[in-house]
Structures are given as structure tokens and as C-alpha cells.
A and B are shown apart, each in its own frame.
Chain A
């Protein structure tokens, strides 16, 4: 219906003086945006197919390409934006739910960017991490109420299971199926090299990756794909996924077209069958039911592994977290509304959930007020972009953070937010063999390890600047934070003072 044609969002600009018609761009674009015109002996482009993933730009040997946002425009209207008009047209045409990927890209406040860190001057001198010991190691798990000694005065060591991380960062859940095997292998190897943990997501664990078990969190979600005794026993921790920041309140759906080969084998469902994770766990309608799943997992693994319960940051997150802390969980993972996904209904992704900074601060407050903060560790995720976000999250009360999007960017993701098409030109969110092999795990994991090492050093420098030499002393240390441009209520929830106070 040409009358309603939607003008492309991006335009491919080709410098024809540089272009040598080598056709690399054509080969690299799984979306078919580049076409070679044989009769005219030159390249052409179909802008409508471009997702702005920069693959062609990066691969062009003569730098002849760039992608620009189109300046074609609707009549200016600050309320009915071009985006709104285009989305209505899409839906009027198809009758379908708008689907998109990665995290919420809209212009909501970013509290991390309204919080500044402290540094020592004169008194309580700063510490140079290059010449003084600096502890970035953290242990996640339930901590005892108090130290208990036997009759000879020795400390009784009867701790629940813990996981040890060299830095307070873990790689968050991304399932095999939503991302490629090479991406999964890169995550597993990076976690092992960096001394941290990665998370299988809900798609099971590929048989080749079982030997990274001590650096693996195995996830149990409502679909229970690939969950069996060996899987549960192989990880260092088990995560029950109740919710996800990118799509709180709804389930998952990996279309049957992606259930092929090893994905089918790993998820233990037939090829071509849809993998549907129902919105709720249909055996969990209460904290008591959740507790039951936690303990059945503990029983199945002989109480040898901490159980993580992951929830999306939503309105009543503090009360929910309080319930979870009392349910027998060892770790609570809270996923903010900026968290990524391989596919989510756009309206859910962009309008449901709350910022992780506020959720984290209110959960930490609530658990401290109730005297149960020691029972659980807190993992904050959903939009952690840098080591500064990590430090701020820890000072707001987290034990460690989950990173997903940042890890994928290290592996080559250019955030074109088209994961749901399955045609990821960078070999991450795809199962197409030819695309997948573009991500070489040998260098993928190294890039990720580089990122983690860089962050580790930055974290140490920021801590050193504050005169703090251990992550333990930073956790929940809100005196190290000041707000800028925040109102009273925001400061109250974050539990921080305004800059200048």
C-alpha cells in the first residue's frame, strides 16, 4: 500500500569516489540493504532494509560508507512525533503487537547521571591502588546473624554456600537460543578468566560448556527448558527467574524457527516447536510457593549452592524483596527497566518497571530497616554502563551488579536493537551459521576480559580516591554519594544528600 509507505529511518550514504565495488557490504549485510547493480556496474542501497548496525561501515575497506538518520521529516509536532505516527501506521497495517529488542531507549531520568562520587582531601587520605592493597573480591550468599563461638572460643564456621567473585560484576542471563553459541562460549570463557560468573539464561546449558560450571549460574525459569539434575548440579549457583527488567510481568517466546540443532538439544524440546515461557511460574502464586521451589532446588543439590531469585524492578519492589529474603533465597537479583532482551513487546519494554537506582536503594533500605539485610546478597542489573555505575550501585546498597548489554557491546553488539529479527550481522543474536561465525570466541572472550580488567582498575581508583580499600566498606555507603538536580523525594528514596550538603 504505497500511500502509507513508511519512510526509512536511516539512510546509507556511499562515497562513490571511494567505493571500489568490492561488494563486501553486500556480503556482510544479512538484511540485504546493499545491492550490486550489474548493468550499471555500481553498488546501490535499499535504506528501508538498513537497521543501522554498522556492520558494512566497519567492514568497508575504503571507508566509503556511513549511516545517517534521515532528515526527511513530518511537519514538526512535539506531541505527535514521527515515531508515534510511524508506529500507528505499522499497527494499522498489520494488527500486530510492536516487537523490539534490547533495553528501554526512551528519555526517562537516569539517576546514575545525577549522582556524584566523593573523594578524600586532606583527612582520611586517598589510597593509590598501584602501591597499596585494594580488595575488590566479594562473596555472595546468606550471611549469619552473628558470630558464634564454641566452648574453646573458636568461631563456628557453618556458613551457607557462597560464591566468590574477583570483582563485583557478573554477566547477566542471556539464553543460548536468544544469543549464539559463540556468544555463549565467549561469556563462559570470559567469566572463567576474570574469576566471575556468567548466567545461562533459561535455554539450558550446551554440553560443551559444562566444564565452565564453577563460573556458571544455571537459570530455572517458568518454561524449565533444559532443566534436569545434571544441569542443576553443574553450576555454582541456581537462579530462579521470576521477572526481567526489559519485560516485567510477561513471559518469553523463542519462535520455533530458532529451535534448531543444538538449541533444540540444549532446551530439550523438538526442533521447530515454539519455546514458550509462561508469564508466571504456574506453581508459584505466593512467597510460600516460591520458598517451595527454592527448597526443592536446594534439596536436589544437597544445599551446596546459593539460590538467586531474579525479579524485575517494579512499584512494590521493596516489599517483594522483603518476602524473597524471608523465603530462603540466598541472593536477590533486581533488574531495572533499562535491562535488555532479545525480544519484548515495545510497549512493555518502554513503559513498565522502574529505574534500578531507585529500586535498589529502596530494597536495601527496607531490608536494613527490617534487620534482614544479612540474609541475602543483592545483585543490581538493568543498564549498568560503566565502572562508575558499578561503584554508584554498590554505594546504593548492591553487593554486585549484573551486566548484559555492556558485555554484548564488548562482543561487537552495536545496539541496533534488531535482535528479534534473528539476523544479527555481528553474530550475537542469531543462529545462522554464516552470521554466527563472525563472532570468534577466541577474541570475543578477550575483549570481554579486557573490559572487566579495565573496570576493575577504575573501580579501585574510584575507591582509592574515597579512601576506601575494600568493596565491603563501599557497600551501602551512601555518604560517598551526592545528588545533583534531584528533588527532595528522589533524594529521600535514594537515601543520599544533595551536592553541597
Chain B
């Protein structure tokens, strides 16, 4: 089913999507917000630039964006997949619990804050380019991978992983990360780590038609939480 977003506005467009029982292709998307909020099962393809909060609470649907996406994509996403053939804005995958977000280009500030995992639910974000500061703050679970494909510069900003108490962040880079908070430990990813993320890297390469050899050309640094309970020693009970 094809829908043109032109002159519909966010609410009417989203009504159409909620009613859709089959896969849907949205043409002429110019910043319409909340696309696919809470959607399950269907595939939504967007030609254009969707607005903020796309795929919030996503519950199994697949969203493919042929263009750039804006802020708060995949907020509290539970399951499904978001593929962005461009850049993503700030607060990508906030508090995401399951599913995958693959971004071909860059992502903004506050990517993957407070992602968490539970049993078979393990959220995964892979960003092909770079991300801004505050990547993976309060990370409680899941995997964030930043590839920095197009640049030699270290591909993430400052304050990466501050407050993290679960999950893993992998950063592909020739140089190690600097200035990490003491709550974060860093090591070079070993074979078992690479085996652990291989399926996501393969799927990512496949999704965007990239060479897996090129992706694996540089080493990956693995960021893990320093302690399971970072706030434990802070309090005096009386």
C-alpha cells in the first residue's frame, strides 16, 4: 500500500498506518512525527525524512527510511527493526529494550542512553559513521556498535558510557578511546567478542551492501561497565 504524506499531517498519516494491515510505503515524507509508534508486524518504508519520535515503543514492525531520520528514533523500542539509509538525530534508541537499529551514516548526541536487556531481548544499535557525545550513558544492557567507516578520527564524542552498569559498547577505531569515566572499562575486542558481534556486523553489511572485510579492517575497542552496581557505596542507611 502506498500513501503520500503530503498535506496529511502527522496525525492523519499515523491513523492510516494504524489501520494498515499490510506493508506500507510512505512517499513525500517531510518531518511527519511519531510514525509507527507502537507498531507491530508490518513493514513501513519511508521515502523522505520522517520527523521526531519515529518508531517509539516499536513492537515488532520494521521501518526502513530511505533518507535521514530526526530525533528520538526508537524511543523505548521493544522489538522490531529500524533501518536508516542516512543519518539519525539525537537521542536515538533511548531506553530501548529489544530489536535493532541500523544507521548507515551518523547519529547525534545521546545515542542509546539507558538501553537495557532482559532474557531473550537484547537491543542492538549499529551506527556506520560517528556519534555525538553522551553515547550509551546509563547503559544497562544491549549492544551499541559504532563503526566510523568514513573517517580516521575517533568516531564518538565525550562522556561515552557514563553511568553504564550493563551492556557493551564496541567502537571501531585505530586509536583507543580517551577520557572515559571510571565507571567504564576499555579493552581491545578479542576473538570471542568479535564472534559475539559478528552476526550483527554481517547483517549490517548485508543491509547496506558494505564489505564485511572493510568493516573488520580496523580493531574494535570494547567498553564494559566497571562494576555491576555503580551507586552501591554511595549511601549511609540510618
Residues of A within 8 A of B (CB): 86-87, 90-91, 93-100, 220, 222-224, 227-229, 232, 253, 255-256, 264, 268-270, 272-274, 276, 278, 282-283, 289, 292-293, 295-297, 299-302, 345, 420-421
Identify the closest chain A residue to B110 (Cβ).
A282
A268 near B56: Cβ-Cβ < 8 Å: no
Report the bound CA distance from A97 to B233 in whole Å: 9
Q: Which residue of B lies closest to A256 (CB)?
A: B229
User: Residue A270 contacts which of B11, B33, B34, B141 (CB distance < 8 angstroms)?
Assistant: B141
- Decide: B234 and A96 in contact? CB cutoff 8 A: yes
**Cβ contacts B28-67/A at 8 Å (1 or 0 each):** 0000011001101000000000001100110100000000
Most buried by B among A222, A228, A232, A420: A228
**New A-B contacts (9) at CB < 8 Å, excluding given A255-B231, A273-B140, A282-B110:** A100-B238, A220-B76, A256-B228, A269-B117, A269-B140, A282-B134, A283-B75, A292-B53, A299-B38
Closest to A9 in B: B238
Binding site for A on B (CB under 8 A): 10-11, 14, 18, 33-34, 37-38, 40, 52-53, 56-57, 59, 71-72, 75-76, 78, 91, 94-95, 97, 110, 113-114, 116-119, 121, 134, 137-138, 140-141, 163, 165-166, 228-238
Asked if A276 and B235 sit within 8 Å, CB to CB, the answer is no
CA distance A220 to B237 in the complex (A): 28
**How far apart sit A264 and B37, CA to CA, in the bound complex (Å)?**
26
In the complex, A500→B4 CA distance in Å?
A: 67
Nearest CB in chain B to that of A220: its residue: B76
List chain B residues, Cβ under 8 A from A297: 56
Question: B residues within 8 A CB of A224?
Answer: 76, 94-95, 97, 114
What residues of chain A lie closer than 8 Å to B113, measured between beta carbons?
A: 278, 282-283
A97's contact among B18, B138, B235, by CB below 8 Å, is which? B235
Q: B95 and A301: CB pair below 8 A?
A: no
* B94 partner residues in chain A, CB cutoff 8 A: 224, 282-283
Task: Please indicate the chain A residues that have their CB under 8 angstroms from the CB of B232 in the complex.
Answer: 255-256, 274
Give the CA-CA distance A308 to B228 in the complex, in Å: 33
CB <8 Å contact, A278 and B165: no
Alpha-carbon gap, A86 to B11, bound state (A) = 58
**Alpha-carbon gap, A227 to B121, bound state (A):** 14
Taking a contact as CB atoms closer than 8 A, the residue among A96, A293, A299 that contacts B233 in the complex is A96
Given contact pairs A97-B234, A295-B53, A296-B57, A302 touches B18 in the complex (Cβ within 8 A): yes
Q: Is the CB of A229 within 8 A of B40?
A: yes
Q: List 14 A-B contacts (CB under 8 A).
A: A94-B236, A96-B235, A97-B236, A99-B237, A228-B59, A228-B97, A270-B166, A274-B140, A274-B165, A274-B229, A282-B134, A283-B75, A292-B33, A420-B235
Known: A96-B234, A224-B76, A229-B38. A274 touches B228 (CB 8 A): yes
B193 → chain A closest CB, angstroms: 20
Task: Give bound CA distance, A97 to B121, whole Å.
Answer: 35
User: What residue in chain A is nearest B72 (Cβ atoms)?
Assistant: A283
Given A276-B138, A282-B91, A292-B52: A99 in contact with B114 (beta carbons within 8 A): no
Inter-chain contact A300/B37, CB cutoff 8 Å:
yes
Does the CB pair A299–B75 fall under 8 Å?
A: no
Q: Do B165 and A282 have beta carbons less than 8 Å apart? A: no
State the Cβ distance, A187 to closest chain B Cβ, in Å.
24
Can you name the residue of chain B whose Cβ is closest to the Cβ of A221? B95
Q: Provide the residues of chain B in CB contact with A282, threshold 8 Å.
A: 91, 94, 110, 113-114, 134, 137-138
Name the contact of A268 in the complex, choosing from B118, B134, B229 (C-beta under 8 A): B118
Question: In the complex, are the beta carbons of A276 and B165 less than 8 A apart?
Answer: yes
| Contact (Cβ within 8 A) B140 A276 | yes
A223-B234 in contact given A228-B59, A255-B229, A256-B228 (Cβ < 8 Å): no
How close is B112's CB to chain A, nearest CB, in angstroms? 10
| Chain A residues, Cβ within 8 Å of B231 | 253, 255, 274, 276
Residue of B nearest to A228 (CB): B78
| Residue in B10, B38, B71, B236 whose CB lies within 8 Å of A232 | B38
B117 cross-chain contacts in A, Cβ below 8 A: 269-270
Looking across the interface, which residue of chain B has its beta carbon closest to that of A300? B38
Given A223-B95, A296-B34, A300-B57, check contact A229 B78 (CB 8 Å). Answer: yes
Would you call A227 and B76 a contact (CB within 8 A)? yes
Specify the main secondary structure of chain B where it touches its partner: loop
Bound-complex Cα distance A227 to B57 (A): 8
Question: For the complex, what is the distance from the CA of A264 to the CA of B119, rounded to whole Å?
Answer: 10
A contact residues around B234 at 8 Å (CB): 96-97
Q: How far is the CA of A278 from the CA of B163 in the complex (A)?
A: 9
Q: Smallest CB–CB gap between A223 and chain B, Å?
A: 7
- Cβ of B160 to closest chain A Cβ, rounded Å: 14
Interface contact B238-A296, CB-CB below 8 Å: no
Which residues of B have CB within 8 Å of A289?
Answer: 72
Q: B156 to nearest A CB, angstroms?
A: 16
Alpha-carbon gap, A65 to B139, bound state (A): 49
Q: Take A99-B236, A270-B117 as given contacts and tell me if A278 and B229 are in contact as well, using a CB distance cutoff of 8 Å.
A: no
Residues in A with CB closer than 8 Å to B56 are 296-297, 299-300
Q: How far is the CA of A274 from the CA of B71 in the complex (A)?
A: 28
Please indicate the chain A residues that have their CB under 8 angstroms from the CB of B138 in the complex. Answer: 276, 278, 282
Min CB gap B40→A, angstroms: 7
- Verify B166–A228 contact, CB threshold 8 A: no
Least Cβ–Cβ distance between B119 and chain A, in angstroms: 8
Q: Is A228 a contact of B228 with CB atoms below 8 Å? A: no
A212 to B235, CA, bound (A): 36
Instruction: Determine if A268 and B163 form an interchain contact, defined as CB atoms under 8 angstroms apart.
Output: no
Inter-chain contact B118/A269, CB cutoff 8 Å: yes
Closest CB in chain A relative to B87 CB, distance in Å: 18
Taking CB atoms, residues of chain B closer than 8 Å to A222 are 95, 114
Chain A nearest CB: distance from B234 CB in Å?
6
| Min C-beta distance of A203 to chain B, whole Å | 13
Please report the C-alpha to C-alpha distance between residue A268 and residue B114 in the assembled complex, in whole angstroms.
13
Q: Which of B14, B75, B166 contacts A273 (CB 8 A)?
A: B166
* Min CB gap B199→A, angstroms: 21
- Give every chain A residue within 8 A of B236 (Cβ-Cβ): 90-91, 93-99
A268 adjacent to B33 (CB under 8 Å): no
| Cα separation A295 to B57 with both chains bound (whole Å) | 12
Which of chain A's residues has its CB closest to B53's CB? A296
Q: Pick the residue among A98, A270, A283, A293 that contacts B110 (CB under 8 A).
A: A283
Residues of A within 8 A of B37 (CB): 296, 299-300
Partner of B57 from A223, A228, A302 at Cβ < 8 Å: A228
